[in-house]
């Protein structure tokens, strides 16, 4: 089973304030883990810069232009209290989009079975016209919409197991019957969205909120009892994973207390769905995960599962 891994050194140049959880060391930890000999079979490529017209599939022109104009030549510019831009942010954000799109091309054309994109900044909090929550562009959402536009697939799904709800992805697809968005997340927690009653205009939003300390059993039940049956019924032709690993028990930003093996388990479950309706096609993009050891171990488990190990 061929799996593609995409990243780029420029994503290390997106600087954040001292002590900020979304830091370059996250990507270094991922790269260190995936450099182990057991990942020798990974196909590897560098993420190119994404095109602005592709970003415009999910974001307003004003949003794109404003962020480009805000990008500083030195220092930091804050777009909200916890989201900032440095001189390297604009390129890093473009490569996060470009990595997701390139992975989609590789999967949709059959070059690989699936792909994992480890870039930063993350994306699932970015709304149609607003950056927030460390995010600037909705990388996973753009990948799903791009696959529809370029390859003509009728249905795509974005599945998000980050511990924070992907309010941006939900907003982008709220009124779209052709894309299903599914999410497990801790509530109450930032950004405050994601209640089970939020279903979208066409009942294609599937939220499974969890409570602090719920742990592995309730996480797995949320997938087994709600998300996986809905996905099978919807039968997407591509699954995009918003792969956040901040639900791990070591993570400092939440307390859902998942174990490393839970990420391997959920990956295998999504692969089973993809095998049944999408020709196995999965594109996974990195979202959160802020404890370096927990992130490295969880990504390793996720990618090993994608590789069929």
Token digits of residue 107: 């999967």
- Nearest to residue 258, comparing CAs of 221, 306, 307, 287? 221
Q: What angle do CA 193, 194, 198 make, to 5 degrees?
A: 105
- Phi then psi for residue 196, to 5 deg, are -65, -20
Q: Which residues pair with 3 in a beta bridge?
A: 114
Q: Give the β-pairing of 83-85 and 77-80.
A: antiparallel
Options 8, 14, 125, 185, the catalytic residue: 125
125 is catalytic: yes
Spell out the SS3 assignment of 67-95.
Answer: HHHHCCCCCCEEEECCEEECCCHHHHHHH
Do 122 and 22 meet the contact criterion of CB atoms below 8 Å apart?
A: yes
φ/ψ of 183, rounded to 5, equals: -145, 135
The dihedrals phi and psi of 218, each to the nearest 5 degrees, come to: -75, -30
Structure tokens at 148: 């529809």
Contact 104, 143 (CB under 8 A): yes
Cβ-contact 147, 158 below 8 angstroms: no
DSSP 104: H
Active site residues: 125
């Amino acid at each position: 089973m061929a799996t593609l891994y995409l990243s780029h050194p420029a994503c290390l140049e997106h600087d954040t304030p001292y002590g900020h959880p979304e830091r370059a060391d996250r990507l270094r930890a991922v790269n260190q883990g995936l450099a182990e000999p057991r990942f020798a079979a990974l196909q590897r490529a560098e993420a190119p810069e994404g095109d602005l017209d592709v970003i415009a599939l999910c974001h307003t022109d004003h949003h794109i232009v404003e962020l480009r104009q805000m990008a500083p030549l030195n220092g930091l510019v804050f777009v909200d209290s916890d989201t900032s831009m440095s001189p390297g942010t604009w390129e890093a954000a473009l490569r996060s989009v470009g990595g997701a799109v390139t992975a989609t091309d590789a999967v949709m054309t059959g070059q690989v079975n699936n792909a994992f994109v480890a870039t930063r900044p993350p994306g699932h909090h970015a709304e149609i016209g607003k950056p927030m929550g460390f995010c600037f562009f909705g990388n996973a959402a753009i990948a799903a919409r791009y696959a529809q536009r370029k390859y003509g697939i009728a249905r795509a799904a974005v599945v998000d197991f980050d511990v924070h709800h992907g309010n941006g992805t939900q907003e982008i697809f709220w009124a779209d019957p052709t894309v299903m968005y599914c999410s497990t997340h801790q509530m109450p927690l930032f950004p405050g969205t994601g209640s089970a009653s939020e279903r979208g205009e066409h009942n294609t939003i599937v939220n499974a909120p969890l409570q602090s300390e719920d742990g592995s059993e309730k996480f797995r039940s949320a997938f087994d009892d709600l998300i996986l049956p809905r996905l099978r019924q919807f039968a997407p032709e591509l699954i995009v994973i918003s792969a956040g690993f901040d639900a791990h028990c070591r993570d400092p930003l939440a307390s859902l207390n998942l174990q490393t093996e839970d990420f391997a388990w959920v990956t295998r479950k999504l692969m089973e769905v993809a095998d049944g309706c999408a020709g196995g096609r999965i594109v996974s993009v990195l979202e959160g995960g802020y404890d370096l050891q927990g992130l490295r171990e969880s990504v390793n488990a996720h990618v090993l599962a994608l590789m069929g190990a």
